[in-house]
């Protein structure tokens, strides 16, 4: 028995062009999806807020001196706060105070190297 419809059916030129358009659109969609997930867009570098900005003309010695004084104040505040606490909370605050003191020592050493006191 002869089949009237070939196996698979023959495509008409219109069907072939529609199929090619679908494939092209699918490829384009796949490319956009992969680019979105695999190639992140380049972002502009974050601009810091100028609301609180250190004057660019300030010398290094002044900056270090101010940092040292700020760290000394933070250390004193942490020490006073630790005296109000007990147990593990006190130990945590004393640990934070120790980190502040170490930073203060490092800034003081940098300040001494910058302007050694004879």
In our burial notation (b when 16+ CB lie closer than 10 A, e otherwise), range 59-74 reads eeeebbbebbeebeeb
* Whether residue 105 is found in the same domain as residue 68: yes
Q: How many domains does the chain have?
A: 2
Residue 2 lies in a domain: no
Number of other CB atoms surrounding residue 78 within 10 Å: 19
* Whether residue 23 is found in the same domain as residue 64: no
Question: pLDDT per position in the chain (118 positions), as tens?
Answer: 666 766 666 667 667 777 888 888 889 998 988 888 888 777 778 787 777 777 778 888 888 889 999 999 999 999 999 999 889 999 999 999 999 999 999 988 988 888 766 5
Number of other CB atoms surrounding residue 79 within 10 Å: 14
* Whether residue 34 is found in the same domain as residue 65: no
* Whether residue 33 is found in the same domain as residue 67: no
Range of 89's domain?
A: 60-114
* Whether residue 71 is found in the same domain as residue 39: no
Q: Which two tokens stand for residue 32?
A: 């956009």
């Amino acid at each position: 028995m002869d089949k009237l419809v070939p196996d698979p059916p023959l495509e008409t030129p219109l069907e072939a062009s529609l199929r090619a358009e679908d494939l092209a659109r699918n490829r384009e969609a796949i490319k956009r999806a992969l680019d979105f997930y695999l190639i992140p867009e380049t972002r502009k570098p974050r601009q810091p807020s100028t609301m609180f900005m250190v004057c660019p003309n300030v010398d290094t010695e002044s900056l270090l001196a101010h940092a040292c004084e700020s760290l000394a104040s933070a250390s004193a505040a942490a020490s006073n706060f630790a005296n109000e606490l007990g147990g593990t909370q006190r130990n945590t605050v004393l640990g934070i105070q120790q980190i502040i003191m170490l930073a203060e020592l490092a800034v003081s050493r940098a300040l001494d190297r910058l302007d050694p006191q004879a």
